[in-house]
Structure 1
Amino acid sequence: MRKAFKYRLYPIKPQAKDLERALELCRQLYNAAPQERREAYKKAGKTVGFYEQKRSLPEVRAALPEYKRLHSQVLQDVLHRADRAFQGFFRRLKGRKGKAGFPRFKGKGRYDSFTFPQAYATGVKLQEGGKRVFLFGIGSVKLKLHRPLAGKIKTATIKREEKEWYIVFVCEAEPKPFPPSEEAVGIDLGTNPYFLVASNGEKIEAPRYYQRTQKKLAEKQKELSRKRRGSHRYLKAREGLAKFHRKVARQRRDFHHKVARSLVNRYGTIVHEDLNVLGLARSRAAKGVLDAGWAQFLSILAYKAEGHRVSGKVLAGRRVVGVDPKHTSQDCPVCGHREKRPLWVREFTCPACGTLLHRDVAAAQNVLARAWAGPSGKGVAGAIP
């Protein structure tokens, strides 16, 4: 299996300028690839493919000496990205009648990463026990290896996030099996006060990272609006606002990873509502839904639960099931009686069987019950294969 490890880079000023220069050269090459294809087809009706453009790289490096400071495989990967964009365009063109989205040119500052496809063969080497990393054309850059690498390094991607630099290693590692578990759980996602309520009664409070920092974000947005667009102070204020938003997004993603890992470690089957998150994001509850990040959490949960694939087979993977969310909070999980209740009612007594229930726990139990294929509880519809 392949696993990605992301680490922070701390380049000195000359190295940061070299990294910016490398990104700019990659951006220009990326833009030249679709331009060449478009002109060749327009003027001569000829289709230029990836391999034709790849074979022309030595001529590009001979005509433009600045490209000699970039590894040839980095340049090939840039052309491969452009080729993938065209492949996606033609695939969408076949599948729909409207606009398929022709590959766009990357504007200045809009190309944020470049990749060494074969890390150790293309001049990427760890130094000083992981305290530094040598990059071809850049030099030895300080690295914060906050967790050890696992497996053999295959690729290395240099990534820019605002003014911060990162390196992402993709490693070939041995899969680690999950602890065995036959337990199943249903989860009901919410926004306030609980992010998640499980069918066994477990409740996880919603951190609400965005709403808690909304006042500070509004102040920073006001500071930005007072600055003259394009001025030094405007750029500095914009950078501070982006940094604040980035922190909130990282906090939310870290929370999602930890909750998903906790569920995957304990349960063999995890059942959730198959929610229309995009539709909910356009409703009155949009702020809470987007702050909770349900789509990101479910994506992380499915990724972690699937486990490891070797030769197309899942090794010790969990099962994640999405079920119809209709009436899950209105049905009694004991007798099935349905009664519509306002959202402010959090606990209720079923008028049919007299059971005292918590609204979210009852919903999670209904979610779990809808996943059973039979009364024995074996076999779950919609499970990951």
Structure 2
Amino acid sequence: MARKACKYRLYPTKPQQKDLERTLELCRQLYNAALQERREAYKKAKKSLSLYEQKRGLPEIRADLPEYKRVHSQVLQDVLQRVDRAFQGFFRRLKARKGQAGFPRFKGRGRYDSFTFPQAYTTGVKLQEGGKRVLIHGVGSVKVKLHRPLEGQLKTATIKREGNEWYLILVCEVEPKPLPLSREAVGIDLGTNPHFLITSEGEMVQAPRYLHKAQHKLAIAQRDLARKKRGSNRYEKARRQIAKLHRKIANQRRDFHHKIARRLVNRYGAIVHEDLNILGLGRSHVAKGVHDAGWAQFLRILAYKAEEAGRRVITVDPKYTSQDCPVCGHRERRPLWVREFTCPACGASLHRDVAAARNILAKAWTGPSGTGPAWAVP
């Protein structure tokens, strides 16, 4: 069994929107209180509170603060679970980075944007009227746009705020549906401009460059924000406008990634790409292009679509993929502006990125003498 998440748009009325915002604010306050409790316990008694010790205090909180009675108990437990995960991540980073890690932070007003029902299949969230409305505990019956049917058994439900919009994210447990077997394999080379992706078969996918295209609008909106008095209503309106533009860019990029990944997964049984240091590239002189392309998101989407379809995604070492000739193996370092070249050893005329994609595919062959493809190894 696999888990699949579906995201649906909610259309709450103004009173329902106030109820949702109140729930978020109560969850934010509980998160900060739980974080402060852990900090004080360690500061005064050198003791680390566990998740279950904090959960035991929830009945007392609900008894002393009546407003928390309207929030489902499982939602409150999930808030404490988030605090626990934040500390687990902190200790993991502390160990990996040898003492350098960011301590979990308090959530400021407006910085806590979702709450979760961990067992939505039993209580908390229920679809009504054939999927036209959803009943949310403490909020009521809210209109929902169920643009695609649910599959499998419902597990968790998350209510999320994005700007002025509200979304329902349902996680279901579904049976995997592998695609028919394909013995075709492809190597892909990722780029930023003018091509987002180049395959070993010579196919070139143009880079949409959504951030680059929206730069003029963003510059105007940001200049408008800079003229407003911080904290005023006009300032908040201008800030929301900028956030809306960034959301549109992110949605366009995500849609593009889904379509390209689906096309690759439907056709090929094995997809090979470089094991890129995207975090490092995102801090280099090409950072803007890398962030605009969204390589990390694309590779993540490609990986889960391939797993669901029964395909394989293979990573290889990126060293020398753009310097080696895929025909004879001659290695020659060339400046990045050289896109077309002729190999001085064998005379093959090649496009730099197509050659790199072919080298990437060739690296996926296993064995000291290249005795078989990596995707054929059980």
Q: TM-score, normalization: structure 2?
A: 0.93
Q: Deviations over 1:216-239 (max 9, x none)?
A: 111111111111211111110110
Letter in 1 for 2:346: C
Q: What does 1:248-267 correspond to in 2, within 5 Å? A: 248-267=249-268
Tell me, yes or no, if the aligned pair for 2:35 and 2:83 is still in contact at 8 Å: yes
> Are residues 157 and 232 of structure 1, via their aligned partners in 2, closer, same or farther at CA, if it must alter by over 3 Å?
same
Separation of aligned partners in 1, 2:16 and 2:292: 37
Instruction: Give the aligned partner of residue 63 of structure 2.
Output: 62
Q: Deviations over 1:137-191 (max 9, x none)?
A: 0001110111111111111111111111111101111111122111111111111
Question: 1:45 Cα deviation (Å)?
Answer: 4.7
> Are residues 328 and 42 of structure 1, via their aligned partners in 2, closer, same or farther at CA, if it must alter by over 3 Å?
closer
Question: 1:286 Cα deviation (Å)?
Answer: 2.2
Unpaired runs of 5+ residues, structure 2, are none
Question: 1:91 Cα deviation (Å)?
Answer: 3.5
Separation of aligned partners in 1, 2:315 and 2:151: 32
Question: 1:35 Cα deviation (Å)?
Answer: 1.9
Letter in 1 for 2:176: P
Separation of aligned partners in 2, 1:203 and 1:38: 53
> Are residues 178 and 341 of structure 1, via their aligned partners in 2, closer, same or farther at CA, if it must alter by over 3 Å?
same
Tell me, yes or no, if the aligned pair for 1:73 and 1:122 is still in contact at 8 Å: no
Separation of aligned partners in 1, 2:121 and 2:190: 44
SS of the aligned residue for 1:122 comes to coil
Question: 1:332 Cα deviation (Å)?
Answer: 1.4
| Structure 1 range deviating more: 359-368 or 130-139 | 359-368
2:365 to 353, 363, 372: 372
Separation of aligned partners in 1, 2:283 and 2:36: 38
Q: Deviations over 1:285-313 (max 9, x none)?
A: 22222211112212222222233xxxxxx
Tell me, yes or no, if the aligned pair for 1:269 and 1:318 is still in contact at 8 Å: yes
Tell me, yes or no, if the aligned pair for 1:197 and 1:361 is still in contact at 8 Å: yes
Question: 1:96 Cα deviation (Å)?
Answer: 4.5
Separation of aligned partners in 2, 1:294 and 1:87: 27
Letter in 1 for 2:263: S
| Structure 1 range deviating more: 238-247 or 260-269 | 260-269
SS of the aligned residue for 1:137 comes to coil
Instruction: Give the aligned partner of residue 88 of structure 2.
Output: 87
Separation of aligned partners in 2, 1:40 and 1:113: 27
Report the identity percentage: 76
Letter in 1 for 2:297: Q
Q: What does 1:1-385 correspond to in 2, within 5 Å? A: 1-307=2-308, 317-374=310-367, 378-380=372-374
Separation of aligned partners in 2, 1:103 and 1:167: 26
After superposition, the CA RMSD in angstroms is: 2.0
> Are residues 61 and 226 of structure 1, via their aligned partners in 2, closer, same or farther at CA, if it must alter by over 3 Å?
same
SS of the aligned residue for 2:338 comes to coil
Tell me, yes or no, if the aligned pair for 2:121 and 2:153 is still in contact at 8 Å: no
Q: Deviations over 1:5-38 (max 9, x none)?
A: 1111111111111100000101111111122233
Tell me, yes or no, if the aligned pair for 1:159 and 1:167 is still in contact at 8 Å: yes
SS of the aligned residue for 2:329 comes to coil
Separation of aligned partners in 2, 1:84 and 1:245: 28
> Are residues 116 and 365 of structure 1, via their aligned partners in 2, closer, same or farther at CA, if it must alter by over 3 Å?
same
| Structure 1 range deviating more: 36-45 or 223-232 | 36-45
Separation of aligned partners in 1, 2:277 and 2:97: 22
Separation of aligned partners in 2, 1:41 and 1:228: 41
Letter in 1 for 2:32: N
Tell me, yes or no, if the aligned pair for 1:179 and 1:265 is still in contact at 8 Å: no
Separation of aligned partners in 1, 2:377 and 2:139: 44
Tell me, yes or no, if the aligned pair for 2:186 and 2:199 is still in contact at 8 Å: yes
Letter in 2 for 1:10: Y
SS of the aligned residue for 2:186 comes to strand
Letter in 2 for 1:380: A
Letter in 2 for 1:378: G
SS of the aligned residue for 1:344 comes to coil
Separation of aligned partners in 2, 1:191 and 1:87: 35
Tell me, yes or no, if the aligned pair for 1:320 and 1:384 is still in contact at 8 Å: no
Question: 1:377 Cα deviation (Å)?
Answer: 5.8
Separation of aligned partners in 2, 1:294 and 1:66: 44
| Structure 1 range deviating more: 285-294 or 152-161 | 285-294
> Are residues 281 and 82 of structure 1, via their aligned partners in 2, closer, same or farther at CA, if it must alter by over 3 Å?
closer
Question: 1:376 Cα deviation (Å)?
Answer: 6.0
SS of the aligned residue for 1:246 comes to helix
Tell me, yes or no, if the aligned pair for 1:306 and 1:384 is still in contact at 8 Å: no
SS of the aligned residue for 1:121 comes to coil
Separation of aligned partners in 2, 1:66 and 1:359: 63
> Are residues 376 and 209 of structure 1, via their aligned partners in 2, closer, same or farther at CA, if it must alter by over 3 Å?
same
